[in-house]
Structure 1
Amino acid sequence: MIDLRKQDHLGVTSSSKDGDIHNKDAFLFLGNCPAHRYEAIITDPPYEIGIAGKDWDCKKLRIDVLAYQFHRVLKPGGNVFVFCSDFQFGDWYRELSRYFTRLRKYAWCKPDSRGTNKGMFQESFELGLHVCSENAYFDMEDRYKNYVVAGKTSGNERMMPDPDEEWSTKKGEKTLHPTQKKLSVIETLVTALSKKGDTILDPFAGTGTLGVAAKNLGRKFEMVEYGFRNHIAAWDRILGEE
C-alpha cells in the first residue's frame, strides 16, 4: 500500500465553503491566475537559507517574478505582506517597490525563542515587509503605532508528524514544518490588512495557518502548497475548525 503522506506532489485541490487549498507549484498557479482576484496576500515563502538541509529552502527564489505576479493578482487597494530572511529583504523591497508606493518593515519579535548559540547573541526575530498603494485598506479600529507582536516559535501549536511516521531528531526537523508561524501573528495581519468577506491568498501555505486565521476571522482563503504532506496537514487543520 502506498503511503500518500510520503508523496511529494499529487496536484489535487481540496475545497470548502471557506476556501481552497491547491497542491500545486506556486509559480504555475500564479501564472494561470486571473488578474485582480484577491484583496490581500499574506505569505511566508522559502528563506533560501537551507534550514535543516531542506532542499526547498536552498533553491534560488525568483523574487522578481513573485513581486510582479503579486501585483497582478491583487485587487486595487489591496495589501501584500511577505515574511523574509534578512538577506532577502533588500531583494523583496527593490522588486515590490516597482509596483507599490508604500512599503513598511515589520519585525516579529520572539522573546521565547528556543535554542542557544554559544558565544553569540540569540537571534530572536524575523523580518517581514508590508506593501500597498496609497488607497489601500488598513484596519483603523485598532492602533498599530509602536505595535509589538511577540510569541513563541514552537510549542503546542507546532504540528508533529503522525505517530507511526519515522522522523529525524536533527535541528528543525522535530516538527512537521520547521517554520510554522504562530496563529496569533497571522491573525493580527489578517485583521489589519483585510475586511470580513475578503479573499486572502497564500501561495506558500505550509501547514495552512493563514487558512485557519482567515476562517476564524470571517475571511475567505486560497492557499497553494507544493508538498503533499503539508497539504494534508493544512486540510486536516481546516476541517478541525468545522
Structure 2
Amino acid sequence: MPQIRLYNSDCIEAMKNIGDHTIDLIVTDPPYNLGNFMKNRDTNLSKMRDNFFGSAGWDDMEFEEWEKSMDTFFKSSARVMKKGGTMIVFMAIIKVETIIKLAQKHGFYYKTTGIWHKTNPMPRNMNLHFVNSTEAWVYFTYKTRTGTFNNDGAMFHDFVETAVTSNGERKYGKHPTQKPESLIQHFVELLSNREDWVLDPFMGSGTTGVVAKRTERNFIGVELNEIYFEIAKSRIEGENK
C-alpha cells in the first residue's frame, strides 16, 4: 500500500517535515489571488454559487503579499524536490508570467504552459460575454531540462479536456476550486512512476491524494483549512475501500 502523510497546517511549516530532495512530483493548485479582482467585476459569481472562492478569505491578498508567499513556496519546493523532479502548477493565465519568474529563481526549468478546457463550464453571463471555460497549468522540471514522461511513444498535447468535477467526487463535501480526478490522474501517470513520492502543498479536498493512492504513488498532502482537510482525509481514506 502507498504511504500517505497528511498535514492540517500551513504548507511552508509542513514542508519542513519533508527531507531534502525526496519528492518526485508536485501537482498543486495554489490560490490564484483573484478574489478582489473578481469582486470588482460584473460576474455575479457570489449569486451563482454559495461557495464562491472570492469569499473564502484565502484568495484576496494584495499582489505583493501573494507574490512573496509564492516565492517562499518555490524556495521550499526546491529544497524537497529531487533533481529531475517535475512540478505542475495550476494558475490563472494573468499570473503565469509571475509564477514562471519565481520558479526559475529557485532552479526550476520552465517547460511549457498548457490549458485545461472544461467541456461543461458554468454558463456565467453567457449573454454578455465569452464563458470562461479554461484554466492554465505550468509545467516545470527541477535542475534538469527533462524529467519522467511516460508517453510510451504517444503524442500528448498541452491541452487537456475534461468535464468539471462530478457530484460523485464531491460526496464528502465541496471545495470551490476542486479539480476532477481524471485531470489530475493525467499528470500523475504521465509524470511519475509507481512508488514515487507525490506532494500537493495546497491539497484542498484531496484530489491529488486520491489519485496518487489509486495509482500506487506515495503521497504527502498539506491543507490549512480544517474543513477542507477533513474532506480530503475522508476521500483519501475512502479510496479503494
TM, length-normalised to structure 2: 0.82
Distance 1:201 1:113 in 2: 28
Does structure 1 retain, via aligned residues, the 8 Å contact 2:115–2:158? no
User: Residue in 2 aligned with 1:95?
Assistant: 102
Q: Deviations over 1:173-201 (max 9, x none)?
A: xx621000000000000011101110100
Select 2:118's aligned residue among 90, 94, 110.
Answer: 110
Q: Is the 8 A contact 2:2 2:195 kept in 1?
A: no
* CA distance in structure 2 between the partners assigned to 1:202 and 1:157 by the alignment: 22
1:120 and 1:140 map into 2 onto residues whose CA distance is 38
Counterpart of 1:43, as a letter, is T
CA contact (8 A) 1:202 1:223 kept: yes
Native 8 Å contact 1:180 1:206 kept in 2: yes
| Cα drift, residue 152 of structure 1 | 2.0
Output the CA distance in 2 between the equivalents of 1:66 and 1:233. 23
Bigger share in helix: 2
Between the aligned partners of 1:235 and 1:94, the Cα distance in structure 2 is 33
Q: Are 2:69 and 1:84 equivalent residues in the alignment?
A: no
Is 2:40 the partner of 1:55? Answer: no
Distance of 1:17 and 1:197 partners within structure 2: 7
Distance 1:204 1:144, change over 3 A: farther
Deviations 1:22-65 (A, max 9, x none): 10111222245321021111100111112342101112432211
Q: CA 1:52–1:115 in structure 2 vs 1: closer, same or farther (change >3 Å)?
A: farther
Give how far 1:115 is off.
Answer: 2.3
Matched residue pairs, number? 214
Aligned to 2:44: none
Deviations 1:76-134 (A, max 9, x none): 11101100112221111111123123421011011211222231101100001010122
Q: Does 2:133 match 1:131? A: no
Q: Distance in 2 between matches of 1:192 and 1:202?
A: 16
Matched position secondary structure for 1:150: strand
Is 1:37 the counterpart of 2:22? The answer is yes
Q: Once superposed, what is the RMSD of the aligned Cα atoms? A: 1.9
Partner Cα separation in structure 1 for residue 139 and residue 87 of structure 2: 6
Unaligned runs of 5+ residues in structure 2 are: 36-52
For 1:53, the aligned partner's letter is S
- Cα distance in 1 for partners of 2:135, 2:78 equals 23
- Distance in 2, matches of 1:82 and 1:214, equals 16
Shift of 1:144: 3.9
Greater shift, 199-208 or 18-27, is seen at 18-27
The alignment partner of 1:185 has SS state of helix
Is 213-222 or 94-103 further displaced after alignment?
94-103
* Distance (whole Å) between structure 2 residues aligned to residue 63 and residue 145 of structure 1: 29
**Structure 1 Cα separation of the partners of residues 190 and 165 of structure 2:** 24
Give the alignment of 1:1-242 within 5 angstroms: 18-50=3-35, 51-59=53-61, 60-61=65-66, 62-98=69-105, 99-117=107-125, 118-132=127-141, 133-141=144-152, 143-146=154-157, 148-159=159-170, 176-241=174-239, 242=241
Between 37-46 and 113-122, report the one with greater CA deviation: 113-122
Aligned to 2:38: none
In structure 1, the residue matched to 2:47 is none
